[in-house]
Amino acid sequence: MFAQTAVTNQGTLYISGASDIFYVSGSFDNQSTAATTNNGNLYLLGDLNNDQSSMATGTGTLLLQGTSAQNVTGSQPFNTYNLTSNNSNGITLNNDLSVSNSHTFSNGLITTSSSNFLIYQSGATYSGDNDSKHVNGWVKKLGTQDFDFPVGNASIERKAGVRSLTATSEFQCHYYQNTPNINMHNGSLAIVDPNEYWYIDRNSGGSAKVYLTWDVSKVPLNIGTALLSSMQIAHYKSSMWNGQNSTATTGNLLLSGSITSGLLNSFSPFTFGSNINVLPVTYLYFTATPQDSKSKLDWATGSENANDYFEVQRSTDQQNWTYVTTVASSGQKTGGTYNTFDNEPESGFNFYRIKQVNQDGSFSYSNIAYCKFDKGSLSASGDEEDEKVDLLNSTNSPSLRITTPGSWSVSHYTLEIYNLSGQLVKNIESADVDGGGEQVMPIDLGYLERGMYVAVLSNTSQKRKKTFKVLK
């Protein structure tokens, strides 16, 4: 049977055999008085509405293969034995769609909500899913079988599963990015992954194990430099993340792997965690300062644990990073002091970060430091610190006292104050400075937090910097 346009069914529609085809090039409205049974092939290019209650599942296949976005609506779930989803523009469920046998992802995404599910009945399976073909939203599963939910966020598929069910159960799952409340965890965890989590809920049934996978090619795994053996599934309950001891953990923390919890009887958000969080490096400061036509990069570490080397990276937009240079670790557990140069900074703002690489190949990133180069500006020809500017602040007076070298000319200077993360916290465009004299500048320091700062005094031909401390 072939239908050119929209079909409204108010009576009996029986697609009897596996070779029978009912083809609808428009929408299909299966009304409450209908009695539809599909034992063949129901092709739909338009929207699907179902108001028939207790619809027979049949033994046939529903093929949603429109060339424009399709919607499934209605007051009653649409039941099908097999499902083929084949729409590159996507299928949105505003009603439940239930599959009893098999689902083939041929093309496109399926979008669901918290009240409209793609449902896999007991024993149902699926195939063909990937990053461009999965469910963006909630998936529901009934039965006792192990099952991986084909969920993602429309850009990547990130499946999670349930294992070893102790009774016939009804579970549902949704994938999210940006884990909430990562600093709220009990003593069983030292760190919680901030990047992704799954909400796995049980509507009815028994206990089950939770199965999660990581794939750093899709989403970074940030649980410090924890050993694989210290990894746990983190379970959010009682307003905090709790560690769930795993029964199996396989893979590589730098690449991909999987972890399975013990049997659980409560369900909610789940992600990755670790009961060990050994920071490989602690930074005391990291600064970037223009020096002639180069960027001078300085940093110091308070401790280093199994650190191999530092890789300096540069960006002009804080999104795309390029390699600058590599600096070897001092090898001292008590830390060290480092400096290097970027010989070819870009015009405008240059942002820098340090990729700290451990001896096992794992790595982490520092905070970002930055400096600015303007086209056509003149840099100091002798920008060393052998001829220092004294910049001293009094703990009892909110001012800076500036003493300049005798060789300096009378001029207007710019005074910039940076914190040790490289952030500009104060800028005075016209500071009158006499060469070889002491200048008292009424610069309010009261708003600065306790700590170390860098002051940079410069004009078009001279530049000096000085580190000072704010005590409170």
Length of the chain in residues, anyone? 472
Q: What is the DSSP letter of 378?
A: P
Quick one: 118 exposed, middle or buried, by C-beta within 10 A (0-12, 13-18, 19+)? buried
Residues paired with 286 in a beta bridge: 299
For residue 421, the model assigns a pLDDT of: 60
For residue 10, the model assigns a pLDDT of: 96
Distance CA 429, CA 384 (A): 22
Q: What is the pTM of this model?
A: 0.63
For residue 380, the model assigns a pLDDT of: 25
Distance CA 43, CA 3 (A): 10
Asked if residue 340 is part of any domain, the answer here is yes
What is the SS3 assignment for 430? Answer: strand
Asked if residue 381 is part of any domain, the answer here is no
Query: HSE (CB half, 13 Å, CA atoms) of 206?
Result: 12
Q: How many domains does the chain have?
A: 3
Asked if residue 414 is part of any domain, the answer here is yes
* Tokens found for residue 449: 């937090």
Domain that includes residue 196, residue range: 2-274
CA angle 355, 357, 363 (to 5 degrees): 75
CA angle 201, 205, 210 (to 5 degrees): 45
Residue that is last in its domain, among 235, 251, 274: 274
Asked if residue 254 is part of any domain, the answer here is yes
Whether residue 237 is found in the same domain as residue 261: yes
- CB atoms < 10 A from the CB of 454, how many? 20
Whether residue 310 is found in the same domain as residue 246: no
Whether residue 137 is found in the same domain as residue 263: yes
Q: φ, ψ for residue 69 (rounded to 5)?
A: -55, 140
Q: What is the DSSP letter of 379?
A: P
Q: What is the DSSP string of 62-116?
A: EEE--SS-EEEEESSPEEEEEEEEE-TT-EEESS-EEEEEEEEEEES-EE--SSS
CATH at 363: 2.60.40.10
Distance CA 439, CA 459 (A): 16
Run means of pLDDT, 10 residues per run, the chain, 472 residues: 80 94 95 97 97 97 97 98 98 98 98 96 98 98 98 97 98 96 89 94 97 93 76 94 89 90 96 80 87 90 85 88 93 89 88 87 81 50 35 46 56 70 66 51 62 70 64 52
CATH at 432: 2.60.40.3080
Whether residue 185 is found in the same domain as residue 48: yes
Whether residue 47 is found in the same domain as residue 123: yes
Contacts of 58 by beta carbon, 8 Å cutoff, 6+ apart: 15, 37, 38, 39, 79, 80, 81
For residue 283, the model assigns a pLDDT of: 84
Distance CA 154, CA 89 (A): 12
Whether residue 11 is found in the same domain as residue 74: yes
Q: What is the DSSP letter of 407?
A: T
Whether residue 116 is found in the same domain as residue 180: yes
